Amino acid sequence: MFQDAVKFGSGEYVPVEMHKVRVVQKLNLLPIEARLDAAEKAGFNSFLLQNRDVFMDMLTDSGTNAMSDRQIASMMVADDAYAGSESFTRLSEAVEEVFNTKYFLPVHQGRAAEHILSRAFVKKGDVVPMNFHFTTTKAHVDLAGGKVVEVFSDDATEIRSDKPFKGNVDIGRLQAAIKVHGREKVSFIRMEAGTNLIGGQPFSIENMRAVRKVADEHGLIIVLDVSLVSENVYFIKVREPEFRDKSVKEIMHTLCDLADIIYFSSRKISCTRGGGITTNRHDLYMKIRDLVPLFEGFLTYGGVSVREIEAMAVGLREALDWDVIKHSPEFIRYLVDRLDAKGIPVITPAGGLGCHLDAKGFLPHLSSFDYPAGALGAALYIASGARGMERGTLSMDRDENGNDVASEVELLRLAFPRRVFTLSQVKYVEDRVEWLWKNRGLVGGLRFVEEPKVLRFFLGRLEATSDWPQKLVTQFRKDFGDSL
């Protein structure tokens, strides 16, 4: 059931926007032939598409969320002092209010925080257990000489499920990892609030308490990535009975109090550029403090403009607003439920961040090494002008022998930036996904023609393994005529 949704006379529950649109940005919907041309020029990589060629940008919610009127207004009172800025003081106060922490270090974005933390805590030969890796997190751990150890539960990678917390850590696997590698080789335990790569799936506070107990038993610290914590808090309130009647702030503090270090990408949690690291432990703060001026900027700006710092402070407080944090999860739920009802394979239950199409189920005739999630993303862009993000084998890096590594899941993520899309646009995507599902046999694979060694999904270029993109265009014209 949706939270606070409106029930229509038909009996359907529909999520309603609790905001009004006062500033708009013009969109382009190119003819399908032009979309095919754009896809080919971008090497069938959605990251390399030009935004002018995109109708609905569902690549990510990172830096693409709509800012509020209060955030924009706050940018006009920024204090641009290099050191001792009042803007930083206001941001620090917001961080303390939202996360219940005393010490704060700004960085220019989430991966900068991962770089700092890996430098400070990860040694060669170390391991970092986590509920699921994220691409940049894994890359920074690898560069520091460490290794990610996945300790997610068996149901984490199930496509269809009724499990409410698929982002939970398997406590048995965590204990086994510590035993196998030795406590002294564990840099820290990382928890990601809203596991990005498996469909924005949350973990429960009950599970976090169990992880805390294990950490205390072995003298380990917990690092919590709260970039998507608002959605995780939403699901805790909706799905975890203990917290149904708790306020968003109470849930946030309960969750954050279980971690030793918290970091975030402000591009996600507060709809601005920037990021930060925060803690209540002075010893941990001192261990990482001196790295910030070296790599980011002085301690009161950390590579972030003071205007963004002011907007970040407002945005963090808005992350405690129920009407703000429920918007994306309920729109995502709406699309997931409608696609699922039509037999189209999507990750269930609906998570945060986006609607995730199961590319293996969508394109069973392709192997992992045909990059089905990437091919599905290219096909959907050609069919609709909507840009999603591949989260599968293409997002993995090759092993030490140069072999492709198959991902546990092959997902096409259709992200829902906060307060950006209207319901009619969501319905448009639903229609084009349904059309693609009916014509899924036309979609073929991709292969690399230009492949970076690290994070290849950002800049790699691919080509179709056959003329399937043109066949898709031909079928589209048969079905839709002159329509875009």
Does 165 qualify as catalytic in the annotation? Answer: no
Catalytic residue among 138, 166, 212, 268: 268
The Cα 474–Cα 458 span in angstroms is 29
- Cα–Cα separations (whole angstroms), residue 181 to 146, 156, 292: 12, 23, 30
Phi, psi of 67 (to 5 degrees): -80, 150
Does the CA dihedral 50-55-59-62 come out positive or negative?
Answer: positive
* Pair 347, 358: CB distance under 8 Å: yes
Q: Which amino acid is at 240?
A: E
Task: Give the separation between CA 392 and CA 408, rounded to whole angstroms.
Answer: 8
CA dihedral 120, 126, 129, 132 (to 10 degrees): 80
- Is 69 noted as a catalytic residue in this protein? no
82 is annotated as an active-site residue: yes
Backbone angles phi, psi at 194, to 5 degrees: 95, 80
Q: Are 272 and 264 in contact (CB under 8 A)?
A: no
Half-sphere exposure of 147 (CA within 13 A, CB side): 9
Q: Do 64 and 417 form a contact (C-beta atoms < 8 A)?
A: yes
Active-site position among 82, 154, 438, 479: 82
Tokens describing residue 43? 């090497």
Classify residue 425 as exposed, middle or buried by CB count within 10 Å of its CB (0-12, 13-18, 19+): middle
Tokens (6 digits) for 175: 């204990």
Q: How many angstroms separate the CA atoms of 208 and 255, rounded?
A: 8
Q: How many whole angstroms separate alpha carbon 313 and alpha carbon 308?
A: 9
Instruction: Find where tokens 């965590």 sit.
Output: 174
> Per DSSP, what are the bridge partners of residue 37?
none
Question: 443, 376 in Cβ contact below 8 A?
Answer: yes
Angle between helix axes 229-239 and 327-341 (nearest 10 degrees) is 70
Kindly name the residue from 126, 225, 358, 370 that is annotated as catalytic.
Answer: 225
In the set 134, 285, 381, 476, the catalytic residue is: 134
Which residue out of 88, 203, 381, 457 is catalytically annotated?
A: 457
**Residue 391 bears catalytic tag:** yes
Which residue in 317, 391, 419, 432 is the catalytic one?
391
> Would residue 301 show up in a list of annotated catalytic residues for this protein?
no
β pairing state of 461-464 and 446-450: antiparallel
Residue 109, CA distances (Å) to 166, 204, 233, 275 in order: 26, 26, 21, 4
Active site residues: 82, 134-135, 225, 268, 391, 457
